[in-house]
Structure 1
Amino acid sequence: MTKYCISFKDIRHTDLASVGGKNASLGEMIRKMTPLGIRVPMGFALTVAAYRAFLKAAELEIPLKDCLDSLDTKKLRNLSEVGRQCRKLILSAEIPDQIRQEVLESYQGLGKKKSVAARSSATAEDLPTASFAGQHDSFLNIKGAKALLEAVRNCYASLFNDRAIKYRLDNGFDHMEVGLSVSVQNMVRSDKGSAGVAFTMDPESGLDKVVYLTSAWGLGELVVQGAVNPDEFYLFKPSLIKGLPYPLLQKKLGAKEHKMIFSKDTKNPVKRISTTAREKQQFSLDEADVIQLGKWCLEIEKLYQTPMDIEWAKDGKTGELNIVQARPETVHTKKAPTLKSYRLKSKESPLCIGKAVGKAIATGKVAIVNSLADASKVKMGDIIVADSTNPDWNALLRKAVCIVTNKGGRTSHASIVARELGIHAVVGCGNATEKLKDGQIVTVSCADGDEGKVYDGKLPFEVEEIALENLKDTKTNAMLILADPGSAFQLAMYPQQGVGLLRMEFIISTSIRVHPMALVNFEELMESNEKKAIQAITSDYEDKELYFVEKLASSVGLVAAAFYPKEVIVRMSDFKSNEYKDLIGGKYFEPEEENPMLGFRGASRYYHEMYREGFGLECRAMKRVREEMGLDNVKLMIPFCRTPEEGKKVLACMQSFGLERGKNHLEVYMMVEIPSNIILAKSFADLFDGFSIGTNDLTQLILGVDRDSALVSGLFDENNPAVKEMLESVIRDVKGKGKKIGLCGQAPSDYPEFAGFLVSMGIDSISFNADALITGIGNIQKAENLV
């Protein structure tokens, strides 16, 4: 006699054809994961043979086939009607007695009054090539024999949901060949706890160095359905494997507006309710549980030898974590990364012309911004037009699809921020705020050489994706300049040798927002709106300093993890005093300076009593990244260090905060951006492990040109003989000392001859903004005679 119910503990992966992918996976995990201490709720599978026997006993095969054969497979105009008729056939049929009896016996074997989940498990489900996830229905908090049998029949009917029918068509599966098993599994009381989903890779970019975990209050169904904004966590796999103290890279609080809980209504055994204000403000999973789940996820990935999509639940009564499902991750397709090339298809007369930043084209509505008072009128996707931009506009500029300014050159604030945000800009137009009007639809193109142009109306353009997989390796390392940690996972897929410059300031201004000294001295701050704002931002932190340390460590850690084990050179904060003043609480701690560019910035701040404790927070964060999170690929870089004596003071200050050069392989680099750095290069080389040339500051200080002044911006030229002679000198002296030296800037991508000059001098690396990386690599290849 055919056996229709099989306990999970008796199921092997070889039973996929008889119990479907979901049940085969559960059986395999119970056998192999339980001995490792990983809890998987017990249950049983109702086999595909039972489904076939059900169809045969009710004589449904031919009616179902006839109904499905009537489907308009081209335009699917009758899909809803065909699906409805198929489900009606299923729901009107009786389950054979033998199947009923086995289901009830197996259910009783799970324990008295057990609440179970009944889930569909198709034979073509949870496979590496096709997951079928979410195509069929699940039924939760099922109690009693009658309710369970009804749930089984509903699972069978869900094989003919409209979405499941279409999915089979799209993936080339025969409707009648796909069989359905039903998973009957003990419910975890996560209605009183939390639940969610974990991926053993980043599902967006495909980065395989992280575990990405989501969590929300109540049953996990709302998370699986995407019906709630969950809490999010990223864990670093190598640190999990090593058992380091803090493998948690980042955590983000989700809104968690609703949760699903058990209901006493037998017709509706679960219900959706609103979460409380307290639940919304609390993480639904503590860090210890996040780390435990991360370790379990790695064991499951190791078992399957492929990235996994894992559902978990925490019992609110017992506090125990459970894995309730696991399937191969199939959503993300590992295509070779590409870059986009844009081309305008029509040639109109532009309204404005300026310098191009980036290579993209975009269409949108004009929003003219004179100050932050205009912030409310800027909508997502707008084109921000301004006389110039300021650092305190960074949050506002995130809404823009591109930026247009009257003033500024390609190293102005608008240009730098546009690159950091991955958008394009046209700067230095002179008349943009006069020529353009609020609400006007315009097309902004930076795809035509060095000139950026603004056109009236929506113009047609085309986008071509450029594959990156065929680029040759170069002797001179091509690295990235990066500011926004949110782009790190995607950029790590590009052909690069790490991050030559990670700007700390962007992280502080956008993620932290509070002046570090205002956190150090929070209790002493006078009562004010600023203090109230800091209290609101840091409400989860009794220790206000820890807020800064954790936020900064989290952001830097994400970048370092994305590029691991390649080096990530983090430049310690390089705000000018006027920029620091724009941080919340900054006005209490910053001096008034007439020329902040040459004032209290960079190295001079770090050991000074006015900022030393703030620098200490930066050091604590970097120590955490390297030692607790395990990201020892992070190197640190000191900006605007005027003299060797100042360099010694900074290194001593860092050591007092636990960052000792050479300890735990810590390397400390220095920016070359002041003529004294070049003249005294050999002395600086005795103090630091490597150097990075910052062409923007260096060029303006060698030539005496204010790079933000439109009046003299034409004199700003990295190709000037004076600049190149200084570069030749510093590269020669640093290399002579056996130290590494690289360069960060636009010139090697804008000017092939400049890249050729650097390569001929034997520079170790050149760092580019993401939009200039491919052009820059091409210029290096030409210089190295690789093309």
Structure 2
Amino acid sequence: MTTIHSNQRPSNKYTPLVYEFEKISRNDVNIVGGKNASLGEMIRELGNEGVAVPPGFATTSQCYWEFLHYNNINERLEELIRDWQARKISLAETGRCARDLFLKAEWPKEAKETISSAYDSLSKKVGIVSVDVAVRSSATAEDFPEASFAGQQDTFLNISGKSALFQACQRCYASLFTDRAISYRQTRGFDQLKVALSIGVQQMVRSDLSGSGVMFSIDTESGFEKIVLINAAWGLGENVVQGAVNPDEYQISKPFLNETGLIPIIEKRLGGKERKMVYSEGESATRNVPTSRSEQDVLVLDDVEIIQLGRWACTVERHYGYPVDMEWAKDGITNQLFIVLARPETVHSVRRVGEFHEYSVKAKGKTLATGCSVGNAAVAGRVCMIGSPTDIDTFIEGSILVTETTDPDWVPIMKKALAIVTDHGGRTSHAAIVSRELGITAVVGTSNATYVLHTGKDITVSCAEGETGYVYEGIADITSESIDVSKLPATSTRVMLNLADPSAANRWWRLPCDGIGLARMEFVWNNHVRIHPMALLHPDRITDEATQQKINKLTTGYEDKSQYFVDKLALGLARLCALVYPKPAIIRLSDFKTNEYANLIGGSSFEPKEENPMIGWRGASRYYSSAYKDGFSLECRAIKRLRYEIGFMNAVVMVPFCRTIQEAIKVQNELSRHGLRRGADDLQIYVMCEIPSNVILAQEFANHFDGFSIGSNDLTQLVLGIDRDSGELSSLFSEKDDAVKWMIAEAIAKAHKAKRKIGLCGQAPSNDPSFASFLVKCGIDSISVTPSSFIAVKLNIADAEHENRETLFRM
């Protein structure tokens, strides 16, 4: 018998056929493959740090080669691969014939005895006769940071007894030559006949009686490094790994994981979990069964378990020195969590950090429509015209959405669009704002897109040519140039981000911004909460049965409906704060207008009808009003949770549309009453500078606030007396008007005289380099822009600061 039960290490002269996990490490990939080497590494090095890994053993590459030699498989495999590469036989035939060679083979005597002995030892160690095991394939060329081989070979669960074990082992060997595995090796340049297969035999975690899933030490979509991402479903983990179910999703902020008293969970999303994989007593060792309604309606993991897994992810990542992809399982008998697999994350680890792109459009077709450009990209594709969000099922993902206008109900469709073109709207319209947040190219306010375009038409949408966006006929020649943001010039003026959609925030983490200058709370409501806060506090005032049903469905699992609002809002804001932590994130309190509040679920029962909501009951005036201050208390509770329970003390509160000094005092009193007192625990409170009175009395407002943020859209509207949504007056609406610029310059001067910070969060600096230069000359402290405008504004500011220095030098 050649099973190793001591501290003996693999020898160059002779490699044993089997190693227990604790006798191998990540240096043994060539002997036991990436998966098994990693399991051994974690047991040896991380067990003392609390990371739990089920025991087991691994067959070695030597065992594989002896199996091939004993059955004379080598020459036949070489012939099959040679014929396939010469295109004499198909990939399917190659794979089928190769697998048959393994499945019809016999075990060498020594290999069979050695594996049998190792299985007996494992059963004795865990105190279970014929212990149930997972039998996993582990190729010796897999799980490198640049090539994971994930999913290329097979895994078999709930294997009990030696006969079933040997059958599973042979099927693992055969899976080295699945069609996808052969093709993957060919594409990656691996020699088909020099890759051996190790088999990991690991005690089963009884997650069939509980749950399991996958975990990444970074965000899988963006590569954002400050979070841990966990997916979870009921039953054995294969359904999650294979994408067969819609799992729960959790995100944890890494910086606070080891701070006592904090629960840094920034996302808890309930998945459908329609089925689960459990043990089977029939021919198949496992089977899928439907989950119950109660299982579908609750999260698989509680907060303590989420935090524990998050800490383990950080421990494993820190030990390995690179992002890690893990599988975990919870035992339904002991309620203990385990890591059952760990391998390098292979998508973002090979991407170049900091690359962004600039676009140019050539060979353009006829101009079909023009409007306001959103972003700086250009795309080409096929039109899918939709008239209503109720037609979402007819939208073809990856098409160009063409419609009259959008509102929050359109966001699910917008997220699937390659680009967006609308008849109506300007740079501050819903379509423009959401498109910027999602990083989607859009041309808004064309007036005629739905008239000149139709479903199925090929077009090019270009926002790469300045303020005007163009819709061209046909597929143009689009080229792009990458920019390394790490080489952007440093500026004294801070450049911050305008953000709202938590689900889109992570994609911008590589931008070297100075924080978030404007986080729009009301957009988080639309995407994550959806219910009017007063409807949760006073459900007795909701008389419409359909509305009651919507509220009940969204708040499933919440005995206290108001806690639903607090949780959802706090988590949404947390995802924004996490992007820039420890830099400041300025969160603007709710700034819906009454008609927008009314459109929230249950909102119509609590909102008055106003002739001009734009300058009606909005912003600060609501927070102390008897008609809304109960709802405002939920906003305060969410921010308290954000700061004190989750840990984001970088959150700054900002009050919008504060008309008078008396109103400022009333709002501060309400905030203090709910535990958000200015100065306590370094809490800063800012005010929007968007009303002429904010400028005229800036020094008085400075006595009650720590800083100002100029809202140039509303300020322009009120200085010039123009409804910013008016199409007839759109040509007159300009932040560059002398009266508006005078107001901005005056606000900056007065803020500095009062020793207060002041920034601007409007779109003008993004659209016009001269406006950025004007702000720099005025001495503004920060400019906050949409992510798609960040690079252009950063360069504009650097040029303006350089010009200012040159001017001062000449003087």
TM-score bracket for the superposition, by shorter chain length: over 0.9
Residues 1:88 and 2:100 are matched in the alignment:
yes
Q: 1:411 offset after TM fit, Å?
A: 2.8
Whether the aligned pair in 2 keeps the contact of 1:428 and 1:710 (CA below 8 Å) is no
Distance 2:150 2:395 in 1: 39
1:194 paired residue number:
211
Instruction: Summarize the Cα distance change of 1:185–1:674 in structure 2 as closer, same or farther, 3 Å threshold.
Output: same
Instruction: Summarize the Cα distance change of 1:637–1:181 in structure 2 as closer, same or farther, 3 Å threshold.
Output: same
1:40 paired residue number:
53
Question: Taking every aligned residue pair, what percent have the same amino acid on both sides?
Answer: 49
Residues 1:79 and 2:117 are matched in the alignment:
no
Q: What secondary structure does 2:723 align onto?
A: coil
Instruction: Summarize the Cα distance change of 1:45–1:368 in structure 2 as closer, same or farther, 3 Å threshold.
Output: closer
Distance 1:407 1:7 in 2: 67
Q: 1:509 offset after TM fit, Å?
A: 1.6
Distance 1:5 1:386 in 2: 64
1:585 paired residue number:
602
Instruction: Summarize the Cα distance change of 1:502–1:39 in structure 2 as closer, same or farther, 3 Å threshold.
Output: same
Q: 1:634 offset after TM fit, Å?
A: 1.2
1:710 paired residue number:
727
Distance 1:179 1:565 in 2: 47
Query: How many matched pairs?
Result: 784
Distance 1:257 1:518 in 2: 30
Which deviates further from its counterpart, 466-475 or 488-497? 466-475
TM-score normalised by the chain length of structure 1: 0.94
Match of 1:322 among 338, 345, 363: 338
1:308 paired residue number:
324
Whether the aligned pair in 1 keeps the contact of 2:401 and 2:419 (CA below 8 Å) is yes
Instruction: Summarize the Cα distance change of 1:438–1:29 in structure 2 as closer, same or farther, 3 Å threshold.
Output: closer
Question: How does 1:284-683 map onto structure 2 within 5 Å?
Answer: 284-332=300-348, 333-359=350-376, 360-367=378-385, 369=387, 380-381=397-398, 383=400, 385=402, 388-390=405-407, 394=411, 397-398=414-415, 400-437=417-454, 442-456=459-473, 459=476, 461-526=478-543, 528-683=545-700
Whether the aligned pair in 2 keeps the contact of 1:395 and 1:510 (CA below 8 Å) is no
Q: What secondary structure does 1:56 align onto?
A: helix
What amino acid does structure 1 have at the position aligned with 2:336? E
Whether the aligned pair in 2 keeps the contact of 1:366 and 1:442 (CA below 8 Å) is no
Q: Could you list the per-position Cα deviations for residues 439-486 of structure 1 after superposition, in whole angstroms to 9, with x for gaps in the alignment?
A: 655444333333233345555544554443321221111111111111
Q: 1:344 offset after TM fit, Å?
A: 3.6
Q: 1:395 offset after TM fit, Å?
A: 5.3
Q: 1:602 offset after TM fit, Å?
A: 0.5
Q: What secondary structure does 1:59 align onto?
A: coil
2:35 paired residue number:
22
Distance 2:591 2:294 in 1: 38
Whether the aligned pair in 1 keeps the contact of 2:498 and 2:786 (CA below 8 Å) is yes
Residues 1:107 and 2:123 are matched in the alignment:
no
Gaps (5+ residues) in structure 2?
Answer: 3-15, 124-128, 807-811
Q: 1:507 offset after TM fit, Å?
A: 1.1
2:267 paired residue number:
250
Q: Could you list the per-position Cα deviations for residues 524-548 of structure 1 after superposition, in whole angstroms to 9, with x for gaps in the alignment?
A: 5335322222112212211111111
What amino acid does structure 2 have at the position aligned with 1:757? F
What amino acid does structure 1 have at the position aligned with 2:382? G
Q: Over aligned residues, Cα RMSD in angstroms?
A: 2.4
Whether the aligned pair in 2 keeps the contact of 1:603 and 1:646 (CA below 8 Å) is yes
Q: 1:732 offset after TM fit, Å?
A: 1.2
1:785 paired residue number:
802
Match of 2:80 among 67, 80, 99: 67
Instruction: Summarize the Cα distance change of 1:51–1:621 in structure 2 as closer, same or farther, 3 Å threshold.
Output: same
Whether the aligned pair in 1 keeps the contact of 2:18 and 2:58 (CA below 8 Å) is yes
1:185 paired residue number:
202
Q: What secondary structure does 2:53 align onto?
A: coil
Instruction: Summarize the Cα distance change of 1:363–1:331 in structure 2 as closer, same or farther, 3 Å threshold.
Output: closer
What amino acid does structure 1 have at the position aligned with 2:197? L
Whether the aligned pair in 2 keeps the contact of 1:244 and 1:630 (CA below 8 Å) is no
Q: 1:510 offset after TM fit, Å?
A: 2.2
Instruction: Summarize the Cα distance change of 1:227–1:407 in structure 2 as closer, same or farther, 3 Å threshold.
Output: closer
Q: 1:393 offset after TM fit, Å?
A: 5.0
Which deviates further from its counterpart, 340-349 or 281-290? 340-349
Whether the aligned pair in 2 keeps the contact of 1:640 and 1:671 (CA below 8 Å) is yes
Which deviates further from its counterpart, 391-400 or 105-114? 391-400
2:6 paired residue number:
none
Instruction: Summarize the Cα distance change of 1:17–1:554 in structure 2 as closer, same or farther, 3 Å threshold.
Output: same
Q: 1:748 offset after TM fit, Å?
A: 1.0
Distance 1:387 1:624 in 2: 39
Q: What secondary structure does 2:277 align onto?
A: strand
What amino acid does structure 1 have at the position aligned with 2:278? I
Whether the aligned pair in 2 keeps the contact of 1:605 and 1:611 (CA below 8 Å) is yes
Instruction: Summarize the Cα distance change of 1:76–1:196 in structure 2 as closer, same or farther, 3 Å threshold.
Output: farther
Instruction: Summarize the Cα distance change of 1:378–1:136 in structure 2 as closer, same or farther, 3 Å threshold.
Output: closer
Instruction: Summarize the Cα distance change of 1:758–1:197 in structure 2 as closer, same or farther, 3 Å threshold.
Output: same
2:709 paired residue number:
692
Q: What secondary structure does 1:152 align onto?
A: helix
Whether the aligned pair in 2 keeps the contact of 1:391 and 1:579 (CA below 8 Å) is no
Whether the aligned pair in 2 keeps the contact of 1:361 and 1:447 (CA below 8 Å) is no
Match of 2:766 among 737, 745, 749: 749
Match of 1:238 among 250, 255, 273: 255
Gaps (5+ residues) in structure 1?
Answer: none
Residues 1:98 and 2:98 are matched in the alignment:
no
Whether the aligned pair in 2 keeps the contact of 1:342 and 1:361 (CA below 8 Å) is no
What amino acid does structure 2 have at the position aligned with 1:349? K
Instruction: Summarize the Cα distance change of 1:392–1:117 in structure 2 as closer, same or farther, 3 Å threshold.
Output: closer
Q: 1:377 offset after TM fit, Å?
A: 5.8
Which deviates further from its counterpart, 165-174 or 306-315? 165-174
What amino acid does structure 2 have at the position aligned with 1:103? I
Q: Could you list the per-position Cα deviations for residues 403-447 of structure 1 after superposition, in whole angstroms to 9, with x for gaps in the alignment?
A: 444444333344334333433443443444444456655444333
Whether the aligned pair in 1 keeps the contact of 2:518 and 2:587 (CA below 8 Å) is yes
Whether the aligned pair in 1 keeps the contact of 2:83 and 2:89 (CA below 8 Å) is no
Instruction: Summarize the Cα distance change of 1:309–1:749 in structure 2 as closer, same or farther, 3 Å threshold.
Output: same
Q: 1:374 offset after TM fit, Å?
A: 6.7
What amino acid does structure 1 have at the position aligned with 2:110? Q
Instruction: Summarize the Cα distance change of 1:76–1:578 in structure 2 as closer, same or farther, 3 Å threshold.
Output: farther
Q: Could you list the per-position Cα deviations for residues 610-665 of structure 1 after superposition, in whole angstroms to 9, with x for gaps in the alignment?
A: 11111111111111111111111111111111112211111111111111111221
1:55 paired residue number:
68
1:221 paired residue number:
238
What amino acid does structure 2 have at the position aligned with 1:317? I
Whether the aligned pair in 1 keeps the contact of 2:437 and 2:504 (CA below 8 Å) is no
Question: How does 1:134-173 map onto structure 2 within 5 Å?
Answer: 134-173=151-190
What amino acid does structure 1 have at the position aligned with 2:578? A
Q: What secondary structure does 2:446 align onto?
A: coil
What amino acid does structure 1 have at the position aligned with 2:559? E
TM-score normalised by the chain length of structure 2: 0.92
Question: How does 1:722-733 map onto structure 2 within 5 Å?
Answer: 722-733=739-750
Q: What secondary structure does 2:498 align onto?
A: strand
Q: What secondary structure does 1:108 align onto?
A: helix
Q: What secondary structure does 1:242 align onto?
A: coil
Whether the aligned pair in 2 keeps the contact of 1:408 and 1:709 (CA below 8 Å) is no
Q: 1:741 offset after TM fit, Å?
A: 0.9
2:126 paired residue number:
none
Distance 1:200 1:760 in 2: 44
Instruction: Summarize the Cα distance change of 1:183–1:384 in structure 2 as closer, same or farther, 3 Å threshold.
Output: closer
Distance 2:404 2:184 in 1: 52
